[in-house]
């Protein structure tokens, strides 16, 4: 079946550096993508989303890039802070998946001082 996966299960960065978390998807019909941050023991928190008619979207300290040619999605976090330490999930939706968001397994981001 279709899947959403992440290149790296863990990522360690120094405080102040930029972080890049990658995500590959396999469904070429996917037209909506979303990033969530989940801290230990808590529910996921929305970060940013992007539709397939865009290739870049910026938020506060975060940028999502979408490359539909290679079916790749990335989340860039500028000036990473200790509070950014969490597990990051990408998820996608396609026209034939109805209400379901298909989540990847997640990348653990650890920010060291």
Partner 1 sequence: SQTIHQWPATLVQPVGSPLSLECTVEGTSNPNLYWYRQAAGRGLQLLFYSVGIGQISSEVPQNLSASRPQDRQFILSSKKLLLSDSGFYLCAWSGLAGGKGEQYFGPGTRLTVT
Q: Which residues bind partner 1 (CB under 8 A)?
A: 4, 31-32, 34, 36, 41-46, 49, 51, 89, 91, 93, 97-101, 103-106
**CA 80 to the chain's CA centroid:** 15
By beta-carbon proximity to partner 1, the closer residue of 21 and 91 is 91
Q: How far is the CB of 92 from partner 1 (least distance, A)?
A: 9
Q: How far is the CB of 9 from partner 1 (least distance, A)?
A: 9
80 exposed, middle or buried (CB, 10 Å; 0-12, 13-18, 19+)?
buried
Residue 95 phi, psi dihedral angles, 5° rounding: -55, -30
Q: How far is the CB of 111 from partner 1 (least distance, A)?
A: 20
By beta-carbon proximity to partner 1, the closer residue of 46 and 70 is 46
Q: How far is the CB of 82 from partner 1 (least distance, A)?
A: 22
By beta-carbon proximity to partner 1, the closer residue of 11 and 91 is 91
């Amino acid at each position: 079946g279709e899947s959403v996966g992440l290149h790296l299960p863990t990522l360690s960065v120094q405080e102040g550096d930029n972080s890049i978390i990658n995500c590959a998807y396999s469904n070429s019909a996917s037209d909506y993508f979303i990033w969530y941050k989940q801290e230990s023991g808590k529910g996921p928190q929305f970060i940013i989303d992007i539709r397939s008619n865009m290739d870049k979207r910026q938020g506060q300290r975060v940028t999502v890039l979408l490359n539909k040619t290679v079916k790749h999605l990335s989340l860039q976090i500028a000036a990473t802070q200790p509070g950014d330490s969490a597990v990051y999930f990408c998820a996608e939706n396609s026209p034939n998946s109805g209400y379901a968001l298909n989540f990847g397994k997640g990348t653990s981001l650890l920010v060291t001082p």
